[in-house]
Chains A and B, each alone.
Chain A
Amino acid sequence: MSPKSRVSAAQRPCPQPSVRADALSKATGAERYALDLAPADCLFAGAFRPGAPSGSSPGIAHGRVRGLDTAAALAEPGVLRVLTAADVPGTNLQGIVHKDQPVLCGEVIRHAGDPVALVLAVSAEALRRGLAALRADIEPLPGVFDPAAALKKGAPLVHAQGHAAPKGGNLLLRAVIEKGDARKALRDAPVVVRGEFSTPAQEHAFLETQCGFAQVLPDGVLDMTVSTQAPFRDRFEIGHALGLDPFRIRVRAPYLGGGFGGKDGATVQCLLALAALKAEGRPVRMAWDREESILAGYKRHAVRLRCELGADSDGTLLAYSCRALYDTGAYAHLGGEVMELGMEHAAGPYRVPHTFVEGRCVYTNNPVAGAFRGFGVAQMSPAFEGLMDALAARLGMDPQALRRKNALRTGDTNSSGVTLTSSAHLAECLDALEAHPLWAGREAWREAAPPFIRRGVGVAAVFNGMGYGRGLPDMAIAKLELTGEGDFLVYSAVADMGQGNAAAFATLAAQELNQQPGAVRLLQPDTERCHPSGSSSAGRTTYTFGNALLKACAAMRDKLLSRAALFLLADDIAALELVPGAVRHKATDRMLPLAVLGRALERDDRVCVAEFLMPVAQDPPDTGRGFVIGFPHLFFAYAAHLARIEVDELTGRVRVCDYVCATDGGRVLDRSCFDQQAQGGAAQGIGFALTEDFSTRQGLILTGDLSTCLMPTALDLPDILSLAVEGDEPTGPRGLKGVGEVGLNGPAPALASALEDATGVRLRDFPLAPERVLAALKQRQGRARRKA
């Protein structure tokens, strides 16, 4: 079957409506998040971050710790301990790939949120007083706040000392993807367009801030319950930093109140573990308030790009070059890996024979950047789509026709040199938008703009890789139990941060076992009861664990049929089938209830375990240089986004009137979860592109609370329409691909395109803030007047 014929129309009736397994508990407030489970007799732990601006100090982003006066804090009633770097056993270094971030800083603070002490107290109030009574003597050091300046000779070094100091000064990683000869191809190309682009940092702003609780049990096991995306990896990160045996650490990850990448890697984990080690067996809790969450939490990387796109005169793309500068802030976190994924996407979801992409990821004294939905790619899409629009304008071509002409399809070689054996239906996403009335009726709508308002319509095509990429096995191990009562328990081993993967697991299992949805229960990740299954990230969660789960379900079905054969006196397993609540003998309609089987079988016999390893690109091209892990990827979700906007000529404000996402995420398992991912990604992308504007000055955050870091509200967002372009990813569980991230990459380029349609001005620096828009309108009016 050809890929094309596997695609059904975007408007086909969606699969049966379903209610997510976690919908009721969340809607009624019954869900228990990490801190809800904390025992009442917990001690309270809190970090002292002396670089933070306060009443007495404007804040310090880079400084030498000359002294710490703990006497007054220790004198506060209820304050038990004040821990410093000297109290940290182990390496005192955290980090997922690069270990460069102290749990507690002893000598230097490298950004304003760095902690130098940890206070342990009997109550929240005592903790607050203890933290307020701490005094640090910090000698300000010259800082570096601009990644380009950080690479200059003589720039202050962020990591000047210690064994974590990088050899390249402030350069964390330089990497290159080179395919063909882009320089020559650009020189020879009949048409070349170029531009510089920039996108700001972004705050995750999950509802549930970083939190958890921990206790050292009498047998010495460190038992933790944390809001985390990576419970299994956390054990190793904590073990490394604190010198503990990772297998004596138990991490449980109940449902998260949001993560978006910001809880991938250590937040409270090492601090909380350290506090528990010093709490003499008592449980300890830690929760960051909103200000601390913004101050110390990870951010999306601010990125600057210089790009060139060359094409033939008929619009066939010939070459793309891109130079990217990623600001990773004070610590590496996943900086190199974020940049890797961005670079792999630099040239867009198109066939480009010659590419040259150079990335540099640079330390500064800005807040720490890390994983964020759209992982490095959301920063690339405004550039590749901006240049596609520019190319279309130069050639006098319809921009959507240009995109369709060059769109990647199965069998193509992508810009990194990977041959796509995976499903790719971008062109059909574009078709779905073009067929939509909001596109068809755009001219009349634009003409009907009220006074002082200009209307514009924009489209962007985007994609996002799935999985860890080569070099890091993307593996999950699913465990499934037939309970003694005869229902099923899925040991979910990948955290659910709200995206609905747990519900998807329940749906997959119920379908595969032919049971009512209510007959499948879920256990949330627990490193003692579940098997290591990687992080909840990279659009891999449902794909990888789902595949493992389907294998476990198949094994369970075979097992139950064979065990039932004895009871049903069936000498041919094929004569039996699983039906809701029972095994049935087809010919005679005799039934063996699963509740009976559950009681009859030993527990060991009621459990099935199966694993799945995500396939990787075979014969990987040698186009990438400098990457540690993650290059290249094989599977991608695709999407095309349509935005209709109004621009106010008097204020420069942009209002998003209508928004449509057409998404190729393979086959759709649960339409409501699929739509929620598309809508949530688009909403978060609209905030990134329009309102949020996360800003710092000299490393100090200007938008340090939710009254200044402006996430869009319900009034700022239109209803976001989600269309499903159902392809079929042959390797996916029931044909699906991960769709968690791709939605975030669309709004910035789609809105910039709509803004250009409305005003004639292309903005290449984000966000598209009123200030920039008004200035651009003024400039254009000035030009028009001079011409006239």
Chain B
Amino acid sequence: MNVLFPRNMPQLVKALGEPGARILAGGTDLLVRLRAQPDAKLATLVSLDRVAALRGVALEKPGTVLRIGAASTHAELLAHPLVRARLPMLAQALATLGSPPIRNMGTLGGNICTASPAGDTLPPLLVLGAELELASASGTRSLPLADFLLGPGRTALQPGEALTAVRVPLPEPSARQHFEKVGRRDALAVAVVSLAALVRTGGKGAITSASLAWGAVAPGIWRCPEAEAALVGRKLTLSALNSAARIASSRVQPISDVRASADYRRSVTGNLLLRLAAL
């Protein structure tokens, strides 16, 4: 197996031009997949490990956007004070992702590019309105995460292109952020259903906007504008959440697999909204 270790962006872009080159970020998904491939030895992997520009967290646009280097590990982000203080729902998602060794190796960019419907960071990043920064030999471009994710395992990443950073707009501190993942156990568990919710309320507690995204209940991260709309204008009460939950449960069309049945996922898709009443 050929593994390249570029040290800066120009070297990275050049390495990605190698025939059949594949990006190796933390390797927690890629190496598992390669293990099942008999021709894995022929692969050329481009490691992001030594490209310093792909790591780190910085405030941008006078304090309204957090720019996260795509090769930052989950553990680094989980320990970062700005992530913890301003993006608690992302921190909650990161805390449930894999296990300590996986969080030490896996990266935010890797979780995005794997594009699993059960990817733990995807629902929070979607409701937060994350934008991706992509680089290739022909320059850089920017794309909303929602447009980047095309389907299970499929993204808008072009050959020769790398995800370099994730820009996350910071919600105002008064906005409610919530993330919950339901797995079959409390570590090393693939999500059966997950929910990220960003809810803003106005003067008398009436909801002004609600952004909801579910993981593992559809081929991609699932949104339900009808359930969001049902919350707007109401207070965050059990009765309002029950209405939204009924809408979500009736509209979602999950599948059955070894982890759970479609019926279970449908019930829990709605049920998880009720937790917002207990926050």
Give the interface of A toward B (CB within 8 A): 128, 132, 450-452, 649-653, 691, 693, 695, 702-703, 707-708, 710, 712-716, 769-771, 774-775, 778
Contact = CB atoms under 8 A, between A and B. Distances in A.
Contacts of A651: 182, 193, 268, 271-272
B187 A710 contact: no
A771 to B, nearest CB: 5
Given A715-B185, A778-B267, A132 B272 contact: no
B256 to A, nearest CB: 10
B261 interface: yes
A128 B41 CA distance: 13
B186 A650 contact: no
Interface residues of B, number: 25
B261 A450 contact: no
B234 to A, nearest CB: 19
Contacts of B190: 707
Given A452-B278, A714-B187, A770-B182, A708 B271 contact: no
Contacts of B278: 450-452
A650 B275 contact: yes
A115 to B, nearest CB: 20
A710 B268 contact: no
A383 B275 CA distance: 35
B258 to A, nearest CB: 5
Given A450-B278, A691-B185, A774-B267, A713 B261 contact: no
Contacts of B11: none
B187 A715 contact: yes
B260 interface: yes
A476 B142 CA distance: 74
Contacts of A771: 260-261, 264
A650 B268 contact: yes
Contact of A710 (B99, B189, B272): B189
B96 to A, nearest CB: 10
B50 interface: no
Given A710-B184, A713-B187, A715-B185, A650 B38 contact: no
A703 B267 contact: no
A650 B189 CA distance: 18
Interface string B157-198: 000000000000000000000000010111111101100000
Nearest to B279: A451
15 contacts: A451-B277, A650-B272, A650-B275, A651-B271, A652-B264, A652-B268, A707-B188, A708-B258, A713-B188, A714-B187, A715-B187, A769-B184, A771-B261, A771-B264, A778-B267
Contacts of B248: none
Contact of A452 (B260, B264, B274): B274
Given A713-B188, A770-B192, 11 more contacts: A132-B38, A451-B277, A452-B278, A650-B272, A693-B184, A713-B187, A716-B185, A770-B264, A771-B260, A774-B264, A775-B264
7 closest Cβ pairs, A-B complex: A715-B186, A650-B271, A451-B278, A713-B187, A715-B187, A771-B264, A702-B258
Interface string B33-48: 0000010000000000
A439 B251 CA distance: 45
B188 A695 contact: no
Contacts of A707: 188, 190
A702 B258 CA distance: 7
A716 B261 contact: no
A452 B193 CA distance: 17
Contacts of A132: 38
Nearest to B189: A710
Interface of B: 38, 99, 182, 184-190, 192-193, 258-261, 264, 267-268, 271-272, 274-275, 277-278
A651 B38 CA distance: 40
Nearest to A706: B188
A451 B190 CA distance: 25
B249 to A, nearest CB: 12
Nearest to B273: A650
A663 B258 CA distance: 36
A683 B67 CA distance: 43
A323 to B, nearest CB: 30
A769 B182 CA distance: 12
Contacts of B193: 651
A707 B33 CA distance: 13
Contacts of B184: 691, 693, 710, 769-770
Contacts of B260: 770-771
Contacts of A450: 278
A713 B185 CA distance: 8
A638 to B, nearest CB: 30
Nearest to B268: A651
A664 B245 CA distance: 50
Nearest to A712: B185
Contacts of B261: 771
B12 to A, nearest CB: 31
Contacts of B186: 713, 715-716
Nearest to A450: B278
B228 to A, nearest CB: 19
A774 B269 CA distance: 13
Contacts of A708: 258-259
Nearest to B274: A650
Contacts of B192: 770
Contacts of B271: 649-651
A572 B166 CA distance: 88
Nearest to A54: B36
A674 to B, nearest CB: 28
A710 B38 CA distance: 27
A774 B185 contact: no
A650 B277 CA distance: 12
Nearest to B267: A774
B27 to A, nearest CB: 16
A758 to B, nearest CB: 17
Contacts of A715: 185-187
A695 B258 contact: yes
B41 to A, nearest CB: 9
A132 B37 CA distance: 11
Nearest to B37: A55
Nearest to A769: B184
Contacts of A451: 277-278
Contacts of B259: 708
A129 to B, nearest CB: 8
A702 B268 CA distance: 23
Nearest to A713: B187
Nearest to B182: A651
B195 to A, nearest CB: 10
B258 A703 contact: yes
Nearest to A703: B258
A716 B187 contact: yes
Contacts of A695: 258
A452 B275 contact: yes
Contacts of B264: 652, 770-771, 774-775
A713 B99 contact: yes
A747 B271 CA distance: 28
A771 B264 CA distance: 6
A649 B258 CA distance: 22
Nearest to B264: A771
B182 A653 contact: yes
Nearest to B184: A710
Nearest to A714: B187
Contacts of B185: 691, 710, 712-713, 715-716
A132 B38 CA distance: 9
A296 B99 CA distance: 28
A703 B185 CA distance: 15
B31 to A, nearest CB: 14
A714 B267 CA distance: 28
A770 B268 CA distance: 10
A659 to B, nearest CB: 15
A771 B268 CA distance: 10
A712 B99 CA distance: 13
A383 B272 CA distance: 34
A668 B258 CA distance: 43
